[in-house]
Amino acid sequence: MQNDGDYACTREQMRLLDKTAIEDYGINGLVLMENAGRRSAAVAAEMLAAAVQGVRDRGKADVGEKTMLDALVPASDAMAAAVSAGSTLGEALAAAVAAAEAGVQATIDMKATMGRARWFSDRTQGVQDPGATAVTLMLQCISEYVTA
């Protein structure tokens, strides 16, 4: 659990800012919520891009090598594109999930070239990559939580 020191402002301060924006400046509450959703989407897209870079740096792998990157990279790219188009967090996550699902399907025809799975390279063809599947399931869960 985070304490108040981990936030830019406290809950009470945020309520006061919202109230001031709505009552004193006439900004519609829905507009405030939509803007928060868009900024949340941008932050999430940045986090996903950082995850891609971290996995690439650590594993020295890339797309097409039957790894989690085969789902993570398309998801990150789709999320970034959705954010650029003005999507909210829920919309951007839906785009990321769809791209990740397509990435998982693409791994079925690949042979593993990285990690322990490369020892069984020929036998991995015809099976979707478990890392890519795990990434997709995580994104699906996050998306469902955000849009619930």
Residue 94 Cα to chain centre, angstroms = 9
- In tens, the pLDDT along 95-142 reads 999 999 999 999 999 988 887 777 888 888 999 999 999 999 999 999
Whether 2 shows a pLDDT value over 70: the answer reads no
Whether 10 shows a pLDDT value over 80: the answer reads yes
End-to-end CA distance of the chain: 22
Instruction: Output the pLDDT for position 34.
Output: 78
Mean pLDDT across the chain = 89
Most confident among 13-22, 32-41, 43-52, 111-120 (mean pLDDT): 43-52
Tell me the mean pLDDT in the region 24-30: 86
Instruction: Output the pLDDT for position 1.
Output: 41
Which of 72, 83, 82 minimizes the C-alpha distance to 48? Answer: 72
Helix (H) or strand (E) holding 48: helix 29-59
Beta strand spans in 30-119 (E)? none
Whether 144 shows a pLDDT value over 90: the answer reads yes
Distances from the Cα of 50 to the Cα of 40, 77, 119, angstroms? 15, 12, 29
Whether 47 shows a pLDDT value over 50: the answer reads yes
Share of the chain above pLDDT 70, in %: 95
User: Could you tell me if 121 and 66 are in contact, meaning their C-beta atoms sit under 8 angstroms apart?
Assistant: no
Question: Exposed (0-12), middle (13-18) or buried (19+): which is 137, by Cβ within 10 Å?
Answer: middle
Whole-model pTM: value is: 0.79
